[in-house]
């Protein structure tokens, strides 16, 4: 197993006070300013963004902040009654298959495009059978299995694809579900999970565990007042579940959640983070990132649009930073786990690269740093985060000193 030095530094170490993200550079939109994009991902220091307006996937080198090339061959931004219709537009969701150096991307006609990441060209086109978009993905590298959602069909369904054979193995329907959101793969138990915004039985949403050999829903974990969108696995079997704008509109509240999927229990509610679409986890820094682009002030349906990205400590479930974004294209967030850069597409400026700064972590009194206060915490904690915090605070200072060398 390859050991990431950052992982060693931060593993089981309480979050280093003073770390924060700052805008570092912006890559202009080419050729046109985008008004409709979907997911982003980082692999090998390269950022990939699905851009419907330009019908491409942008390929951006994060070290130089330059667009290297773009991948063509997608449906593009489609309109119904002069309004963007994302249900038939593409490219949409995407996932990198690192062991195969491939990118799988959903398109607006229900097809899944396979890209060779050495050539940046489409090498296969796999049909899900839907006429509407193929959307979000999860990948199991152990069995080379892909799961992709078709959220706009009735009923919505997921398609299971063999990446080695580039062949559809089957599909699983979600009766009575209003759409589908992000699937995720749990490396601890080898199972796939799907974020289901709302069903007849669970109007606040559910996390469905699926069995891809039986092509069936195996188990459901109901959520209370969430209407989830993005999900991502963090440490252990913790699942960060981001709640959508429908949570605010339906329940007049704004929070996201961390669940322990080994028990199905809610570990924490992170207050103030809602209206989210894509989420990411960085194991190096042990942070979650939530694109809360449809957040409304005060968690109120009459609140002013307050689009932001939220950065959450995965050990203490604490919201440590928010940065203003926009409510159009900023529903995507991606992380480079080597450089710790965060990337968000901003409609008025371009693809924004943020870097992690340790500016204040070196200054001042080390013992006061070691008992760090967390900015604007409104998370409801359970014992897990707190005990880790105490147990590993002994490593805190070394992480701080070494961390500056690596992160500076």
Contact residue for ligand NAG among 201, 214, 297, 359 (CB under 6 A):
359
Does residue number 26 form part of the binding site for ligand NAG (CB under 6 A)?
no
Binding marks (x or -) toward ligand NAG, 290..309, rule CB under 6 A?
---------------x----
How near is the Cβ of 67 to ligand NAG at its closest, in Å?
15
How near is the Cβ of 379 to ligand NAG at its closest, in Å?
9
Round to whole Å and give the CA distance between 130 and 156.
10
Does residue number 69 form part of the binding site for ligand NAG (CB under 6 A)?
no
- Least Cα distance to 182 among 162, 207, 165 occurs for 207
The DSSP output letter for 39 is E
* 3-state secondary structure (DSSP) of residue 265: strand
Does residue number 176 form part of the binding site for ligand NAG (CB under 6 A)?
yes
Contact residue for ligand NAG among 38, 109, 153, 206 (CB under 6 A):
109
Phi, psi at 262, each rounded to 5°: -75, -20
Contact residue for ligand NAG among 365, 373, 383, 390 (CB under 6 A):
365
Does residue number 120 form part of the binding site for ligand NAG (CB under 6 A)?
no
User: Of the ranges 63-71, 190-198, 212-220, 264-272, which one interacts with ligand NAG (CB under 6 A)?
Assistant: 264-272
* 3-state secondary structure (DSSP) of residue 7: helix
CB of 285 closer than 8 Å to CB of 233: no
Spell out where 262-367 has E strands: 265-271, 279-282, 287-292, 308-313, 318-324, 334-335, 342-346, 350-357
* Widest Cα–Cα separation across the chain: 61
Does residue number 383 form part of the binding site for ligand NAG (CB under 6 A)?
no
Judged by beta carbon, residue 183 or residue 385, the one nearer ligand NAG is 385
Considering Cα of 179, then 73, then 94, then 279, what sign does the dihedral take? negative
CB of 154 closer than 8 Å to CB of 110: no
Binding residues for ligand NAG, rule: CB under 6 A, are 18, 20, 33, 44, 82, 101, 109-111, 117-118, 125, 127, 175-176, 200, 224-225, 266, 268-269, 305, 327, 348-349, 357, 359-360, 365, 367-368, 380
């Amino acid at each position: 197993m390859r050991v990431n030095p950052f992982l060693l530094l931060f593993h089981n170490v309480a979050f280093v006070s003073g770390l924060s993200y700052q805008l570092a550079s912006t890559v202009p939109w080419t050729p046109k300013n985008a008004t409709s994009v979907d997911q982003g991902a980082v692999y090998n220091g390269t950022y990939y963004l699905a851009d419907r307006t330009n019908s491409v996937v942008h390929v951006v080198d994060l070290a130089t902040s330059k667009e290297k090339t773009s991948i063509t061959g997608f449906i593009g931004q489609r309109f119904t009654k002069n309004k963007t219709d994302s249900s038939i537009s593409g490219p949409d969701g995407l996932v990198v298959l690192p062991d195969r150096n491939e990118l799988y991307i959903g398109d607006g006609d229900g097809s899944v495009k396979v890209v060779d990441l050495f050539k940046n060209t489409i090498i296969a086109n796999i049909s899900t059978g839907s006429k509407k978009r193929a959307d979000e993905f999860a990948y199991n590298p152990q069995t080379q299995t892909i799961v992709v959602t078709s959220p706009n069909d009735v009923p919505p369904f997921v398609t299971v694809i063999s990446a080695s054979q580039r062949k559809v193995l089957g599909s699983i329907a979600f009766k009575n579900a209003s759409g589908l959101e992000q699937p995720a793969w749990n490396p601890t138990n080898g199972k796939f999970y799907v974020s289901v915004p709302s069903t007849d039985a669970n109007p606040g949403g559910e996390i469905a565990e699926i069995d891809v050999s039986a092509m069936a829903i195996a188990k459901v974990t109901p959520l209370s007042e969430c209407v989830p969108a993005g999900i991502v696995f963090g440490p252990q079997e913790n699942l960060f579940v981001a709640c959508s704008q429908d949570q605010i509109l339906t329940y007049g509240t704004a929070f996201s959640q961390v669940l322990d999927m080994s028990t199905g229990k809610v570990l924490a509610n992170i207050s103030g983070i809602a209206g989210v679409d894509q989420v990411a986890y960085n194991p190096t820094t042990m942070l979650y990132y939530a694109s809360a682009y449809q957040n409304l002030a005060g968690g109120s349906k009459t609140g002013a649009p307050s689009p932001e990205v939220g950065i959450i400590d995965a050990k203490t479930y604490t919201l440590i930073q928010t940065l203003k974004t926009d409510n159009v294209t900023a529903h995507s967030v991606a992380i480079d786990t080597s450089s710790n850069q965060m990337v968000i597409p901003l409609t008025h400026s371009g693809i924004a690269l943020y870097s992690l700064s340790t500016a204040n972590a070196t200054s001042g009194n080390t013992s006061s740093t070691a008992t760090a206060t967390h900015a604007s915490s409104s998370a409801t904690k359970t014992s897990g985060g707190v005990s880790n915090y105490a147990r590993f605070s002994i490593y805190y200072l070394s992480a701080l000193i070494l961390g500056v060398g690596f992160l500076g």
